[in-house]
Amino acid sequence: MEQFWTRDSIDKNKGLIEHLRQYGVIRSNKVAEVMETIDRGLFVPDGIPAYVDTPMQIGYNATISAPHMHAMCLELLENNLQPGMHALDVGSGTGFLTACFAMMVGPQGRAVGVEHIPELLATSIENIQKSQAAQLMKGGSLSVHVGGMFYLSVQSNREGIQSNSRPQIWFASCIYKVQYTCCRAK
- Which of the residues are catalytic? 65
Q: Is there a contact between 185 and 160 (Cβ–Cβ < 8 Å)?
A: yes
3-state DSSP percent of the chain in helix, strand and coil, to 5: 35, 15, 45
Query: Distance between CA 101 and CA 112 in Å, rounded?
Result: 9
Cβ contacts of 151-155, under 8 Å, gap ≥ 24:
152/86, 152/88, 152/110, 152/112, 153/110, 154/86, 154/110
